[in-house]
Structure 1
């Protein structure tokens, strides 16, 4: 890994006032070239001490999946040392951290290629990500799957009851959105997802509403919604399915109500 120092010019313009040279500040931006895997709290502390602003690679908080390696649970409890990171050029993966209860240390993060939050059994919300603004489309590999970029994924976070922090994301076209085995009752936070190739909502026992997908205009390839015991209203998906009725994969099953694709298109979408 290599550290590079760049300098950016930030100008602060106050409405109605002119800007002179005194309004321009030269601030250093520290870039880490390479991927980062933080398996322990000591790793988090060590990287945090370097005060990086940009990671030109992926950031893995917790152990990382590999073909021959299942992640070992970490001892990470505090992400505050990472509070200078503003950009990650590939994905941010928060994986296998059973003691982690907060993402507050990622409060400056604004852009990444994907956000993957898996196997964090005591994480209740994403509140530390309120400055997260954009998911860019760089390709990456996660769990032996190649993504073309633009991914939001939550898997096996049983205590996760809020993803509202993501509501500040700019309108996004994504490759995949996956919400799998969480404690969510709604998808509030995903209002600005406008177009997605694959949408998966699976095994969320408390989920009662998809209404937060109000900004979604198209599902291009795959819709999987199953194992959500309390889910009975899919009307928010009527327009996206009308815009593309030729999905390659459609599976809505084992929920409280299980309409066909044509049912939803025709407006027979709730019970």
Structure 2
């Protein structure tokens, strides 16, 4: 077990004096500066400027720990070179912070090379240097072979200890995670830079001090997943660029507070699931080679995403594609290559005005468009020169949507059509290609004036519900309907309709069905049902209440179809 490998990495913390910016070599002995009487004696303890020997050295990196409590310091960092006495004229690593315990990792060093390192600090225009430390980088490639099994690393000490083994491969999973309060937070993954493959999955979870994935740059393959979750200081996924295995399993990017860029995933082509959730600073999803997601895609709660550019080669989603609650999403243009998905959910994207970008979509079992307050048109669903196969369509509470014209590519039989709570829809033109539907529900559309667009429907196999359509003037758009096979027929709260002539071609309905007309206060003419009850002799029941005339089925058979 790995726990038997862990040990405390001891290093000497040296309190170092500082010299003025001077090219002459310095050592740790007391010296008098001939210019200004400053000395290289250790500073007063209140000054607090200290540097440690390298906490960890690899073939290409070296990590230093420093402490500074002097609030007058404007810049602090490291200088280094392959020759003695480096200054800011050589390579420089500037700390992002100046106060407290600082962890700086020098990267891109040459393997098996001697380097000379100093700390420096600026006060105004004045630069002071610490004494010089010498380090020797290790060989570039690991020497530890394969670690068998899964490994979970919860502290920096555990990462350092595991890194000293210099493994090349991990047969199972690698998890780096912060668990609860610790005095040894994870700040540096560079000790892991000999790892070239992880047998199953890689997870970086809940780190609070980690700012970079430096140390993972040599990992080329995963098979079961990459998970980046709840890392409060991670800005990008740089150093995952060498992840070149085309299929990496599940890809989860979830609730990383300042994550801005995932373009390092440039070689990924196939994933099992893609979840990009709750990353408030992420503006786009750059996975340019992604072609197939075998199961679900969820892009939710990303407040800065404005487009889906970076997904231009995605053609297939095996199950559900959900794009939800991305308040600044303006366009779906990045989905231009998408041809197939099982179910597509587009909901609660407050700035989305159209579905442009779904033009290549040819097959989808379910299409759900809900709660998109700025959506004005469905035109992006129109397939040029082809048809769109859809089993179920739900258009629910999109308050700026005025028509269904973008559904004109939908052809043939559809399992269900549900159009509900869309406050601005005036027309349902766009459904002309539908010939059969199992469930048709049109409700709560205060601006809808007619049912034009339903003229192609001849058969409804389960249910038809028209409810609370205060401006609907007639139901003539149903005039091709000949057969109802289901058990639910309800026309309710249509205050302007006066007749049911749109049902004049209806000739078949089961005896078990109630034709329910309720609270249609102007409806006085049911002669449109003569063909059903008199010519065809249907035994369905007629249940009418709250209308201007309330006949039953026998009244129709007796010729009393209207007032």
Q: TM-score scaled to structure 2, two decimals?
A: 0.36
Per the TM alignment, residue 133 of structure 1 is displaced from its structure 2 partner at its CA by 2.4
- Quick check: 1:157 aligned with 2:410? no
Checking the alignment, whether the CA contact within 8 Å between 1:238 and 1:265 is kept in structure 2 is no
Alpha-carbon spacing, 1:29–1:86, altered in 2? closer, same or farther (3 Å): farther
Partner of 1:214, secondary structure, is coil
1:227 to 456, 468, 479: 468
The structure-2 alpha-carbon separation of the partners of 1:224 and 1:259, relative to structure 1 and needing over 3 Å to count, comes to farther
Count of residue pairs the alignment pairs up: 220
Q: Following the alignment from structure 2 to structure 1, what is the Cα–Cα distance between the partners of residues 306 and 331? A: 11
SS in 2 for 1:106: coil
Kindly indicate whether residue 530 of structure 2 is the aligned counterpart of residue 266 of structure 1.
yes
User: Deviation at 1:227?
Assistant: 0.8
Q: Tell me the alpha carbon deviations over residues 95-127 of structure 1, each in whole angstroms, 9 at most, x when there is no partner.
A: 111111121122222221111100011101011
Specify whether residues 258 and 118 from structure 1 end up closer, same or farther in structure 2 by C-alpha distance, changes over 3 A only.
farther
TM-score (norm 1): 0.72
Match of 1:134 in 2: 388
Distance 1:173 1:223 in 2: 15
RMSD of the alignment, in Å? 2.9
What does residue 85 of structure 1 align with?
338
Assess, with a 3 A threshold, how the Cα gap between structure 1 residues 220 and 259 changes in structure 2: closer, same or farther: farther
Q: Please state if 1:202 is matched with 2:443.
A: yes
2:314 aligns with: 52
Q: Distance between the aligned counterparts of 1:101 and 1:62, measured in 2?
A: 14
Return the match for 1:179 from 405, 416, 419: 419
Runs of 5+ unmatched residues, structure 2: 1-248, 251-268, 272-288, 501-514, 517-525, 532-555
Stretches of structure 1 lacking an aligned partner (at least 5 in a row): 6-27, 64-72, 137-149
Tell me which residue corresponds to 1:97.
349
1:134 and 1:45 mapped to 2: Cα distance?
22
Shift of 1:172: 2.1
2:454–2:477 CA contact under 8 A, matched in 1 = yes
Report the structure, 1 or 2, having the larger helix content: 1
Secondary structure, aligned partner of 2:408 = helix
Q: What is the match of residue 250 of structure 1? A: 489
Other-structure match for 1:62 = 324
Give the corresponding residue for 2:329.
Answer: 76
Asked whether the equivalents of residues 307 and 330 of structure 2 are also in contact (C-alpha less than 8 Å), the reply is no
Greater relative contact order (Cα < 8 A, sep 6+):
1
1:64-98 CA-to-partner distances (Å, cap 9, x unmatched) read xxxxxxxxx6432221222221221x111111111
